[in-house]
Chain A
Amino acid sequence: QKEVEQDPGPLSVPEGAIVSLNCTYSNSAFQYFMWYRQYSRKGPELLMYTYSSGNKEDGRFTAQVDKSSKYISLFIRDSQPSDSATYLCAMSYNNNDMRFGAGTRLTVKP
């Protein structure tokens, strides 16, 4: 079993839809949770950073962490074609090395 599981998709939604991206993990020691966005042929860029459980909102993006279920989510409201990218969840217990999910490829169609 992988430490971090993420459905690779692909996921295709119409413009304006609410997108839900999810990851599950097995290591209960993880306490730092992040979401990265990666455009084709580019490096991942940090979208959201959360410590421990709870919700965090930034504009159209909301990150949720449920440590009891070992489950994290990223919601994108009013999705735009420019949101089309691969979204990677990442987590760590000590910030020395981050474990990444496989990434979910999202396409938002105009």
Chain B
Amino acid sequence: DSGVTQTPKHLITATGQRVTLRCSPRSGDLSVYWYQQSLDQGLQFLIHYYNGEERAKGNILERFSAQQFPDLHSELNLSSLELGDSALYFCASSVELGVYGYTFGSGTRLTVV
């Protein structure tokens, strides 16, 4: 157990729907990062939050949004889902802006049908 908790582990939903993925960072970690991993694109950075504030954005679609709450957990919201959004979504956390690397959760496998 890495200490980073992601729920749910698996999610199957239909095109056009909206889902929310949840991440609880490792105790003491202030940074949360979201990544998308698909077979043909590898691990793609989506967004980074530090202590509740957005710090950096990667290739995140406008249909996707995220936030980090005062208790430091984070949620990634995916809307108007398309078949191509099917992927593994990973959350990672770090103590302080990733200085000592990231700790990843086990991921949420999203299947859009």
A96, B100: Cα distance in complex, Å: 12
A: number of interface residues (CB 8 Å): 22
A46 touching B58 by the CB < 8 A rule? no
B: number of interface residues (CB 8 Å): 26
Interface residues in A17-43 (C-beta closer than 8 Å to B): 32, 34, 36, 41-43
Measuring CB to CB, which residues of chain B are less than 8 angstroms from any residue of chain A?
2, 4, 33, 35, 42-45, 48, 55-56, 58, 90, 92, 94, 97-107
Interface membership of chain A positions 71-88, coded 1 if the CB is closer than 8 angstroms to chain B and 0 otherwise: 000000000000000001
Measuring CB to CB, which residues of chain A are less than 8 angstroms from any residue of chain B?
32, 34, 36, 41-46, 49, 88, 92, 94-103
A92 touching B98 by the CB < 8 A rule? yes
